[in-house]
């Protein structure tokens, strides 16, 4: 049942695509790390003292609310950016004909 992809779909990807997708991956993971571990744990006290959201200290708020909101935004950005990249390099399912 498996291993039946015979056309170009089954090959690896071009260097340009790989580089671009790794850039997206690392930049989003950096944001992910900063909003959760950075704001919510490592630098929480400093943020607590310096800023606040409504009546909540920022570090505490980031750890309970802000980071989660950021995570959702990161995933939306990922879907959009990768979708665009696939389109550009002809790796998208729908761009089959356009690309080749």
Residues near another protein, by CB under 8 A: 1-2, 4-5, 7, 9-13, 18, 21, 25, 28-29, 32, 36-37, 40-42, 44, 48, 53-57, 60-61, 63-65, 67-69, 71-72, 74-76, 78-79, 82-83, 86, 90-93, 96
Residue 17 CB, shortest distance to another protein, in Å, is 8
Q: Which residues contact 9 (CB under 8 A, 6 or more apart)?
A: none
* Cβ distance to another protein smaller for residue 50 or 72: 72
Beta partners for residue 52, in sequence order: 57
Helix, coil or strand: residue 53? strand
Which letter does DSSP use for residue 51 in this model?
A: -
Q: Retrieve residue 39's tokens.
A: 């704001």
* Cβ distance to another protein smaller for residue 50 or 79: 79
Helix, coil or strand: residue 67? helix
């Amino acid at each position: 049942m498996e291993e039946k992809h015979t056309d170009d779909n089954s090959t690896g990807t071009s260097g340009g695509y790989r580089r671009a997708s790794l850039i997206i991956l690392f930049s989003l993971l950096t944001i992910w790390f900063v909003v959760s571990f950075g704001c919510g744990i490592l630098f929480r006290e400093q943020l607590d003292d310096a800023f606040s959201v409504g009546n909540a200290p920022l570090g505490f708020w980031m750890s309970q609310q802000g980071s989660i909101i950021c995570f959702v935004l990161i995933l939306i950005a990922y879907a959009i950016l990768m979708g665009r990249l696939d389109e550009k390099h002809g790796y998208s399912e729908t761009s089959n004909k356009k690309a080749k």
